[in-house]
Structures are given as structure tokens and as C-alpha cells.
Amino acid sequence: MGMSVIISAATEQDAEKILKLQYLCYQSEAELYGDYSIEPLTEPLDSVRAELAGGTVLVARLGEEVVAAVRGAMDADGTARIGKLVVHPRMQRHGLGGRLLDAVEAKLGADGAAKRFQLFTGHRSEHNLRLYRKHGYAAVSTKRVDERLTVVTLAKDAEAGAFVA
């Protein structure tokens, strides 16, 4: 490729890039479940800006282009909730999603406040499920949303999650 992918904290200027990337990446999920009204495709820009201001948002850049992103937030009970891990389709299947997952875990767990990490995906999202299992996550619950979608919540203890930056 000639350039290295660099993972860093997102800036306020990244909000629109993150939203556009998210829209691109969630098209395949919407197709998989036959539902183009899913929240990642309808999320307003102000919501992304609020997460940038109050949560942990990391991006992966290839030069100036944002090619991957992930968001995380810590609950009062010590659960670090990770969401909206997206990787540009042309960059998928090269380990970038795993690197970003490791980086957000390291960031959220840096001060020792994280007791556990939690995330979720749809039951048909095999690539996502495989990635999360590979990184030590196990299913802790399922919730049927409708006839098309069952949400699988996965978690792991922070102590078991050997952080790799």
C-alpha cells in the first residue's frame, strides 16, 4: 500500500468522515437483515459529535482518509461498552478491525476502571461474531428484536482481555 494505517483519537473534524464511513459500512448489515432503517444508517451528525465530545472515539487513518472507527463509553458499574466498529470495505479482512478493538479496549481500560467489556451485533453477522470471539468475547445474552433480527450481546472480563496497543 505504501502508507501505514495509524490509529488515534478522533477529532471534532472527523465527525462527518466517521458518519459517512459508518453509512457505507452498515449497508451490508442492512442488506443482511433486510432493514435499511437501522440506527447506524439514520444516526444524525449531532449524535456523532456528542460522542466525540463525551466518549472515547478512535479512528484509523490511511494518510488523511478515515478508514475505520470505533466508539466506547464507560458505565458507572465499570462496564466499557464498545460500539459501531466499522472498517472501510476495501480495508476489511486485513486485521484492522482487531487492531482497533484492541486499541479501544486499551484506552477504556487504561486507568483500571473497566471491569468488563461489552458489545453487540446481529445474529447473522458471522464476520463480526468471529472477530469478537477471536478477541476473547463470549455471548452473554440474546434478544429477539423482530422476525429478522436477534441481537447477540458479547462480553469479556477486563482482566482476561490482555490489552494490546
User: What's the whole-model pTM score?
Assistant: 0.91
CB of 22 closer than 8 Å to CB of 47? no
CA distance 62 to 2: 10
Mean pLDDT of the chain: 92
Residue 162 pLDDT: 43
Tens of pLDDT, residue by residue over 59-85, are: 999 999 999 999 999 999 999 999 999
Least confident residue range of 77-81, 100-104, 144-148? 144-148
Cell numbers linked to 97: 478491525
Task: Compute the average pLDDT of residues 131-141.
Answer: 96
Q: What is the mean pLDDT of residues 102-125?
A: 92
SS3 assignment, position 2: coil
All 3 cell numbers of residue 154? 458479547
Conformational region of residue 156, where left means phi above 0, alpha means psi within -120 to 50, and beta covers everything else: beta
Q: What is the DSSP letter of 11?
A: -
pLDDT at site 160: 58
Please give the average per-residue pLDDT across 107-129, as a whole number.
Answer: 92
* Cβ 137 vs Cβ 156: under 8 Å: yes
Domains annotated for the chain, with CATH where assigned, are 5-157 (3.40.630.30)
Q: What is the largest CA-CA distance in the chain?
A: 46
153 sits in which H/E element = strand 150-157
- CB of 37 closer than 8 Å to CB of 31: no
